[in-house]
Structure 1
Amino acid sequence: MELLFQQFFTVLGILLCLYLMLKFFRFLKYLFPRLWKALPRSFFRSMGEWAVVTGAGDGIGKAYSIELANRGMDIVMISRTLEKMQTVAAEIEQSTGRNVKIIQADFTRDNIYEHIEESLRGLEIGILVNNVGMLHNPDPCRFLSGPDNDKNLINCNITSAVKMTRMALKQMEQRKRGLILNISSAFGSFPCPLYAIYSASKAFVTTFSKALQAEYKSKGIIIQAVTPYGVSTPMTKHQNTDIVTKSPGDFVRQSLNCVTQGDETFGCLAHEILGCIISCIPLWVIHSTAVQEQFLLRFSTEMKENPKRM
């Protein structure tokens, strides 16, 4: 019996060491991306001529549009905010000389895809960034305390990713190359109370991405779920940036260096470390009523102290 226990703990120790080594190597990818697997400057352009970005008028979508143009791509911006897109498009064309095409569409609706597909006809789509998304409620709340906008959220967060992927993937499969980045959320990596429907929608995006990568990686197509924690955007009420909360530009630049590093990425080292820490917290702690009440109380207090964020 003593020998059996000794063997058990030996195997357990080896598995723990392997797990920690795996985590260490994941951190190295962020610390030394060029040494791990340097992307040639021509990588993104080699996928195709155009990059299509949804939710491109602001935040992460705007940052992807600008950064991909800096890396040699012509850009298709899709959003409902026409004036914001026009401003960003002018900035991109002036600073990079790349072509920019604008498509106005409201992704909370489900009758927009024929118009989008017609507008994309004839373009060689090398990269698709499914970025558009929305929260069930701007502030954390229990499901029944939020608005009844379930259809809008499902259309925006789930249907958009499926429909846009279907459009782009058809021609990528024919050319045997392409890159699809599905912007999910770390809140989709576990059932997150107070953000229930948002968390569930992002879990779909992550699972959808991983399943498609398994199906299409042999055809030369990269499909990756990007699952960030804090990024300072209109959705997060422009939180102050710090070691964890990244500006959209910083986050996008780092995440684009990770596109060949697996079917899911947190996008940056700080979020990878935070994800590792949170994964060690038992789910029953996160799901406890006491933790939820404390979170709601803290959020309410913060809003009273910083009314400009409301």
Structure 2
Amino acid sequence: MDLLEAILTLLGATVLVYYGGKFVLFSRMFFPKWCFPLSKTFFTSMGEWAVITGASEGVGRAYAFALAERGMNVVIMSRTKATLDQVAKEIGEKTGRTVKVVVADFSKENTFATIEEEIKDLNVGVLVNNIGVLPNIIPSRFLESEDLDKAITNVINCNVKTLCKMCKIILPGMENRRKGVIINIASGIASFPCPLYTLYAASKIFVERFSQGLQAEYKDRGILIQAVAPFGISTRMAHFQKANIVTLLPEDFVQKSLQYLTAGEKTHGSLCHTILGWLLHSIPLKVLHSEYVLQKLQNYIEKKIEQEENGST
């Protein structure tokens, strides 16, 4: 009896220490300025330039502004030159930093040689891999995707291949200088199997695993690599949902996410999204995968798209 009591006591203490440790680690998310401090010169100490893919709008645009405000010159990339030129003008006027525009269609196979040539002489200290596409406007089952072959190619090229290629282009310079930051934008919905977003979520899991493996390989070279997995952000991809406590404006999300840059190899980028991730993990997958929930999600997205097309709010 004494032995059993001792075993149970030890087991209870172990559980208490384990969850106590997890709580202490989680509690740091409430105080990022104190727990994960960055000096005012942190980003400029990494290098003169930041490169941001998918920077014409949304999260990419917000990262470009935020890094320019922190003293970096920025290279912004997207496929629409007119929009990039406007963003470049706004960044220059607001921050006084130099902005280089590189037109790149990441769904195409031959875009990376051009990118490499355009930035070969730049001292790149920060890379933000933000570009990403959904296979469908309305979430749907895999086989119900419109033009499935094209959807597969676009998702692989933009969400997976571009990530690897941009790291291949920029990482050697960081390794030579033994410093640099790579931020790879994943997605909160990839934290669990996500029907109707199966292809997209799978591509974003690749982003997470690639980032974590790369960080293990290059951490001792002075390079910080982090996957950022947000949930709701008011962007075109999310049909510009109204901002609230969970759905953040891109500018607000980016400012918060940069506060957690040294918080680990993966973060949700903000306290509210971290809590949301914990809550979703506490819901049984049987509930999340139920036909009722999936149908409600489809109906909600269809309604939002209809409102956009009709100019409603």
What is the SS of the residue equivalent to 2:154?
helix
Correspondence for 1:82 = 81
Q: Does 1:220 align with 2:222?
A: yes
Correspondence for 1:203 = 205
Correspondence for 2:157 = 155
CA positional deviation for 1:132: 0.4
Q: Which of 222, 231, 248 is matched with 2:233 structurally?
A: 231
1:76 alignment partner AA: V
Correspondence for 1:39 = 38
Q: Which of 236, 247, 250 is matched with 1:248 structurally?
A: 250
**Closer, same or farther: CA 100–298 of 1 in aligned 2, 3 Å:** closer
Q: CA RMSD in A?
A: 2.1
> In the TM superposition, what whole-angstrom CA distance separates every residue of 1:132-176 from its partner, at most 9, and x where no partner exists?
001111121111222221101110000000000111111100100
Alignment map for 1:294-305 (pairs within 5 Å): 294-300=296-302
**Structure 2 gaps, min length 5:** none
1:15 alignment partner AA: V
What is the SS of the residue equivalent to 2:77?
strand
Paired with 1:230 and 1:151, the residues of 2 have a C-alpha distance of 25
Q: Does 1:179 align with 2:181?
A: yes
Q: Does 1:194 align with 2:196?
A: yes
**Structure 1 gaps, min length 5:** none
Correspondence for 1:146 = 145
Paired with 2:8 and 2:306, the residues of 1 have a C-alpha distance of 54
CA positional deviation for 1:201: 0.3
Alignment map for 1:105-184 (pairs within 5 Å): 105-147=104-146, 148=148, 149-184=151-186
Correspondence for 2:97 = 98
Identical-residue share of aligned pairs (%):
44
Q: Which of 282, 287, 308 is matched with 1:285 structurally?
A: 287
Paired with 1:75 and 1:243, the residues of 2 have a C-alpha distance of 30
Correspondence for 1:51 = 50
CA positional deviation for 1:94: 1.2
**For the Cα contact (< 8 Å) 1:27–1:269, is it kept in 2?**
no
Paired with 2:267 and 2:277, the residues of 1 have a C-alpha distance of 10
TM score, norm. by length of structure 2: 0.92
> In the TM superposition, what whole-angstrom CA distance separates every residue of 1:81-110 from its partner, at most 9, and x where no partner exists?
111111111111111111100000101112
Aligned length: 309
Q: Which of 265, 268, 279 is matched with 1:266 structurally?
A: 268
- The answer to which of 148-157 and 31-40 deviates more is 31-40
